[in-house]
Structure formats: C-alpha cells, structure tokens
Amino acid sequence: MSLLKKSRRYSVFYFLTSLCLVTPLYGQTYSKEQLQELAVSHVYDQLDPNTADNKELNALTLDSRIPDRGCNTELVFNIPTEPPFNRQITVQIKCDDINGWSQYVHVRMIELSPVIVASENLSRGEVIEPHHLRLIMKPKHFVRAQYLQDEELLIGSRSKRNIRSGYPVALNQICMVCKGDNVTIFAIIRGLKIKTSGFALEDGTLGEQVKVKNAKSGKVLNARVDGVESVQVII
C-alpha cells in the first residue's frame, strides 16, 4: 500500500474519531416500562421536597401495542398543569430528532398519611408496649379519623379486642382508662390545677367522658380522658 493511501486512511480515521469526541451520543431506545419510569421521575421532581415523601406515584400501563421508542436527542418532558397536581397527571414525553415522536403517560398520585399499626398480634386485655407498634404510610382516603399517628399516646393503654399484626390500631379498639384501673385525676378550679387519685368506673379513650370515683372523698365525677390512666375534671 502506498504512503498516500495510508495517509488518507489515517485522515479518515482521525476525522471520525474527532466527530465522536465532539458530538454527544444521545441515541437510545426506550421501552414502555422505561418511559413510564421516566414520567414518574419527572413528576416527582416537580413536587415540593417537604411533602414529596407523602406521595405515592404510579404510571398507568401503556398500551401493549406501542413499540419501543428510539431517539437521537435528549427527551423533552412537558406537564400542562402546575403543582399542586390533581390525582392524575398527564406527562408528554417528546423526541425532537428527525423521526420525532410524542408519547403521553398518565401518572396517578396518591396522598399518603402516617398510621400506627400493630407490629405483632395483640390479645384482648394486653397492655400495649413500644415493640407492639410501628408507623407506616397508607393512602389518605383509607385513613379514618380514629386512627392515631403518635405512638406515645398508645403506650400503656390496653387492647379491648384482638388486633392482628399489620392492622391499624384505632381508638375504639383500646382503653386508655379501663374500668377498675387506678387513675390520676386533674381538677381545674378557677385556673388552678389540682392533682388527686381515684379509680375508673368505666372504659374510655382519648377525649371521651367517663365516670371516675375520687379515692379520698368517694365522690363520683364526670371526667374527660386526656391520656393513659389520666382524666381531667373542670369544676
């Protein structure tokens, strides 16, 4: 081979190499699953960082007849609405190369709320301890008003029925003041708070009215449950 031919070959080689170094290689093929994941990730990036962890995002499955999508440029994402989003967000994924295409992906957003559940089976009458409980996130529309979010409020209360592991611990399933228990009575008189002792005449949970008997005077009082083995009377 002549020196001239060798020189031409090397020139072509270095020219192609230089193109690879200066030209970004965006060419990529995206499956339906990848497009769904990219849409979810894009929506998540638009959420308020302070509340993003309270959201669950899921993309609706794309039609199985949609082929894999190839693109030689960076993908462009567009959402027609601004945060805060509704429960369903439409994300447009667009490719602007010579064979440009556009794909719409629907992302469902579910609001989550913290709920205390039993970490193991609880028997009726069992005193609740810290290891019996754990905090999980559940869809907000499944969370009832009687579910608690503060584990400390439940410690020391007693289950009124069997509670299965993994199920929420609701106020109507426990008694913070149980019939026959010794209780601390806080009486509020003209702004002064007086502490005395007594015992409960009936079961009650947070905020409920129960009858208690003062251990010293023997007087029966109507009191409001304000904690475990604790009631408040306003005189």
Domains of the chain from N-terminus onward: 23-111 (no CATH), 113-175 (3.90.1210.10), 182-234 (2.30.30.760)
Q: Whole-model pTM? A: 0.67
Q: List alpha helices for 95-191, DSSP H.
A: none
Instruction: Cite the beta strand spans of the chain per DSSP E.
Output: 28-30, 55-59, 69-71, 76-78, 88-95, 101-118, 133-139, 158-159, 174-175, 182-189, 192-200, 209-214, 220-227, 230-234
Per-residue pLDDT tens listing for the chain (235 residues):
443 333 434 443 443 444 444 334 468 999 999 999 999 999 999 999 988 889 999 999 999 999 999 999 999 999 998 888 989 999 999 999 999 999 999 999 999 999 999 999 999 999 999 999 999 999 988 888 788 888 888 999 999 999 999 999 998 999 999 999 999 999 888 778 889 999 999 999 999 999 999 999 999 999 999 999 999 997 7
